[in-house]
């Protein structure tokens, strides 16, 4: 029976790959990968020989219809991203939506995603939170910060290393200099690091020690 599987992959440590994820990737007819070179290393490590095809933000609009037709013809497809859970600031939403609209079963496996451990180890309230992903770089950036300044829930952001200090300074500017943050970097990897403090304190630290790797910024909610 045709089905679309959304399969999380490790965000760094290969030991976080689940037995079930390996099983599904071995059994499906086709694996859609964000970057076949990156995923090729993962599949080789776990001795998975399933055919693989590229599916990323630059071609997903063009490939969705073809993939849906393949599943309607009886194929089972697994979608993976370079790291973490598909569709969380990665390709996956469009194909999932079209599969559901076409009455194709969709199943998302539980597994690695960066924002959950970053949220939990931040020490901020996690009973209610808002995930913003990557903020706009230019157009709409100020509007988002002004809206988030009123947010009382814990806020989660993704950020690139070279934009981190700017974002932390913006947080201090729009939210107040005493607003606390927790910045998690390189989660599950050898040089994993979490820095906590006010946005200005953490901005100063990373100005002196430019960061590398994948970064999650967790911001204390307002009104504390």
**Nearest alpha-carbon partner for 171 in 210, 217, 116:** 217
In a domain, 74, yes or no: yes
Name the pLDDT band for 127 (thresholds 50, 70, 90). very high
Instruction: Note whether 8 and 57 are same-domain residues.
Output: yes
Instruction: Note whether 60 and 90 are same-domain residues.
Output: yes
Domain boundary among 82, 108, 134: 108
What lies within 8 Å, CB to CB, of 158 at 6+ separation is 89, 114, 115, 133, 134, 214, 215, 216, 217
Neighbours of 191 (CB within 10 A): 9
Q: 127 or 89, which is more confident?
A: 127
Q: Tell me the pLDDT tens digit for each residue of 138-188.
A: 999 999 999 999 999 999 999 999 999 999 999 999 999 999 999 999 999
Q: Tell me the pLDDT tens digit for each residue of 13-49.
A: 999 999 999 999 999 999 999 999 999 999 999 999 9
Domain of 20 in residue numbering reads as 3-108
Given a cut of 80, whether residue 109 has pLDDT beyond it is yes
In a domain, 27, yes or no: yes
The CA angle 210-149-217, to the nearest 5 degrees, is 30
Q: Tell me the pLDDT tens digit for each residue of 40-83.
A: 999 999 999 999 999 987 788 888 999 999 999 999 999 999 99
Three-class SS of residue 29?
Answer: coil
The CA angle 155-202-121, to the nearest 5 degrees, is 50
In a domain, 161, yes or no: yes
Instruction: Note whether 125 and 103 are same-domain residues.
Output: no
Given a cut of 70, whether residue 224 has pLDDT beyond it is no
Given a cut of 60, whether residue 110 has pLDDT beyond it is yes
Q: What is the mean pLDDT of residues 82-104?
A: 94
Instruction: Note whether 207 and 142 are same-domain residues.
Output: yes
Instruction: Note whether 45 and 78 are same-domain residues.
Output: yes
In a domain, 68, yes or no: yes
Could you tell me the pTM of the whole model?
0.92
Q: CATH number of the domain that 16 lies in?
A: 3.40.1010.10
In a domain, 224, yes or no: no
Determine the Cα–Cα distance for residues 216 and 93; give it in Å rounded to an integer.
21
In a domain, 177, yes or no: yes
Instruction: Note whether 122 and 45 are same-domain residues.
Output: no
Instruction: Note whether 84 and 155 are same-domain residues.
Output: no
State residue 61's pLDDT score.
83
Residues paired with 9 in a beta bridge: 84
Provide the domain count of the chain: 2
Q: 89 or 96, which is more confident?
A: 96
Instruction: Note whether 13 and 72 are same-domain residues.
Output: yes
Instruction: Note whether 179 and 206 are same-domain residues.
Output: yes
State residue 91's pLDDT score.
87
Instruction: Note whether 101 and 142 are same-domain residues.
Output: no
Instruction: Note whether 124 and 214 are same-domain residues.
Output: yes
């Amino acid at each position: 029976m045709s089905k679309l599987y959304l399969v999380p992959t490790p965000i760094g440590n290969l030991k976080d790959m689940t037995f079930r994820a390996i099983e599904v990737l071995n059994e499906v007819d086709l694996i859609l990968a964000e970057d076949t070179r990156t995923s090729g290393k993962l599949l080789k490590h776990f001795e998975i020989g399933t055919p693989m095809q590229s599916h990323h933000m630059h071609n997903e609009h063009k490939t969705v219809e073809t993939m849906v037709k393949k599943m309607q013809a009886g194929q089972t497809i697994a979608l993976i991203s370079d790291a973490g859970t598909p569709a969380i600031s990665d390709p996956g939403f469009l194909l999932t939506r079209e599969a559901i609209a076409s009455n194709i079963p969709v199943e998302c496996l539980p597994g690695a995603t960066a924002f959950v451990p970053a949220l939990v180890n931040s020490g901020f309230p996690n009973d209610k939170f808002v995930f913003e992903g990557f903020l706009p770089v230019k157009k709409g950036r100020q509007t988002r910060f002004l809206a988030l300044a009123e947010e009382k829930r814990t806020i989660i952001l993704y950020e690139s290393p070279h934009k981190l200090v700017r974002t932390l300074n913006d947080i201090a500017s729009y939210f107040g200099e005493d607003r606390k943050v927790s910045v998690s970097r390189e989660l599950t990897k050898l040089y994993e690091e979490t820095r906590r403090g006010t946005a200005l304190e953490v901005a100063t630290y990373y100005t002196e020690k430019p960061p590398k790797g994948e970064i999650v910024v967790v911001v204390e909610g307002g009104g504390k």
